[in-house]
Structure 1
Amino acid sequence: MSKQAILHRMVTDQHICPFGLRSKDLLERQGYEVEDHKLSSRTETDKFKEQHKVKTTPQTFIDDKRIGGYDDLREFFGMDKAGQNGTTYTPVIAIFSIAALMTLAIQFSAQATFISARTLLLFIAVSMVMLALQKLKDLFGFTNSFITYDLLAMRNIRYGYLYPFLEAYAGIGMIAGMSAIWVAPISLFIGSVGAISVYKAVYIDKRELKCACVGGDSQVPLGFVSLSENLFMIGGGLIMMLMQNT
């Protein structure tokens, strides 16, 4: 006999509840045959919540017992809460992994080889551009975090707003092969200020902060990752200067 579940979820012309869809998918993946009841209006939804004395939908019932919403359903199946919880390095791992693959693709396209003297510079540049893009998605959110530890941004908040544009410019300049004189000083400057700021905040002041390196909503802890980002910028500037002189 197949396992049965009853699901009540909101589906209207204006709104389809994402957690209702997730609940249905989870039940089906757990081998349940789902009796899917769609609440097609706000009035119908409110009536259902009042009837069952619940505050939210979706609601799942199994064996005449109310399990609850999506998080309750996951708990019923012995699963952790959905989504990223607490500090995580996932965004950084994703960015650097994609940056590495893009670097190899660009390098192979340009020189039909994956490794050359320019590969490291390209990796740094692509990483800088991708990290800048994360910051530019929400400048206010980024600066709200950044100004709590960057020594220059603390004194001049406008520098916080300028920072991701400078990072993007330096990264794009490295990819384009611009003259080192136009790019290296900026990369060295923002990288040096950033490295000193992170080192002071984390290793001297022992503050527990979230890193603004991947945007204002980051759950990445401030420390090694942000310090590495700044050291990359310094390294990129130095590599550009060395390549210019050879």
Structure 2
Amino acid sequence: MSSRPVAVLHRMVMPGHTCPYGLKAKSLLERRGYKVEDHWLRTREETDAFKAEHGVQTTPQTFIGGRRIGGYDDLRRHFGLHVPARGETSYTPVIAVFAMTALMALAASHAAFGSPFTIRAGEWFISFSMVVLALLKLRDIENFSTMFLNYDLLAKRWVPYGYIYPFAEGAAGVLMTANALHWISIPLALFIGGVGAASVFKAVYIDRRELKCACMGGDSNVPLGFVSLTENLMMIAMALWMLFAAVSPAHPVP
């Protein structure tokens, strides 16, 4: 006889729709050692009747020991897991972007030079990051430009700059990745990075404003501050480094 605790789960499994939260709830319960009595709600009428019977607005619904736990978020809370609040600050997107661009740079360096640890890997890390951050902004340029107008000094005076910025950042990143057309990429990165750094510094450290950063796109929950300032300082540093490399014949490529 099984000693595993039993949980009763009611979830929608219809011909045209399987509730993803129901699947998540089932998986979470099984990972926590529960034997799941899995009850499928196969039609809209069956689902509505279940909701009315238990006085709930959503499915799935989990019951443990005869007590209703609730939906998927309630189940996570029951197990002491974090449930993000709407609009909650999160650095996860930033960590994901920089971790992946770092790995991409190391991989590209290994493919090109036989070693992941080269000067070019450092350059590619910054240029790849610029391209990915530009891509995130271009997913919804309207929302990005609106958020950008909250703090960027130039965009406040000339609104089209909010639309130009992601294209400029992406172009500079691509050219720096290719190590080409320095006469375009270096001044472009210096300009947008300089204006951006000044804007963030003023908004956060002088005016003490609490804003969301547009660096990850228009739907970002990353707070304006260190991350956005770092993005702009990285562009400035990359531009200065490439300027040094361009005028220094002895600069080693790898």
- Counterpart selection for 2:126 from 121, 124, 127: 124
Residues 157-236 of structure 1: pairs in structure 2 closer than 5 A? 157-236=159-238
Per-residue Cα deviation, 1:189-239 (whole angstroms, up to 9, x for no partner):
111110110011001100011111111121111111111110111111112
- After superposition, the Cα gap between the structure-2 partners of 1:84 and 1:94, relative to the gap in structure 1 and judged at 3 Å, is farther
Contact 1:71 1:82 in 2 (8 A): no
Report the alpha carbon displacement of residue 146 of structure 1 after superposing the two structures with TM. Answer: 1.0
- Distance of 2:112 and 2:185 partners within structure 1: 21
Normalising to structure 1: TM-score of the pair? 0.94
How many residues matched? Answer: 246
- After superposition, the Cα gap between the structure-2 partners of 1:85 and 1:34, relative to the gap in structure 1 and judged at 3 Å, is farther
Aligned to 1:155: 157
Report the alpha carbon displacement of residue 49 of structure 1 after superposing the two structures with TM. Answer: 0.6
Aligned partner letter, 2:81: M
- After superposition, the Cα gap between the structure-2 partners of 1:158 and 1:45, relative to the gap in structure 1 and judged at 3 Å, is same
Alignment RMSD, CA only?
Answer: 1.7
Contact 1:6 1:35 in 2 (8 A): yes
Residue segments in structure 1 that go unaligned for 5+ positions in a row = none
State the percentage of identical aligned residues: 55
- Distance of 2:87 and 2:195 partners within structure 1: 31
Contact 2:200 2:224 in 1 (8 A): yes
Aligned to 1:38: 40
- Distance of 2:148 and 2:124 partners within structure 1: 26
- After superposition, the Cα gap between the structure-2 partners of 1:84 and 1:128, relative to the gap in structure 1 and judged at 3 Å, is farther
- Counterpart selection for 1:50 from 35, 49, 52: 52
Per-residue Cα deviation, 1:141-168 (whole angstroms, up to 9, x for no partner):
2112111101111222221111111111
What SS does the aligned partner of 2:116 have?
Answer: coil
Per-residue Cα deviation, 1:68-122 (whole angstroms, up to 9, x for no partner):
1112212222322268972122211221121112112222222223344433322
Residue segments in structure 2 that go unaligned for 5+ positions in a row = 249-254
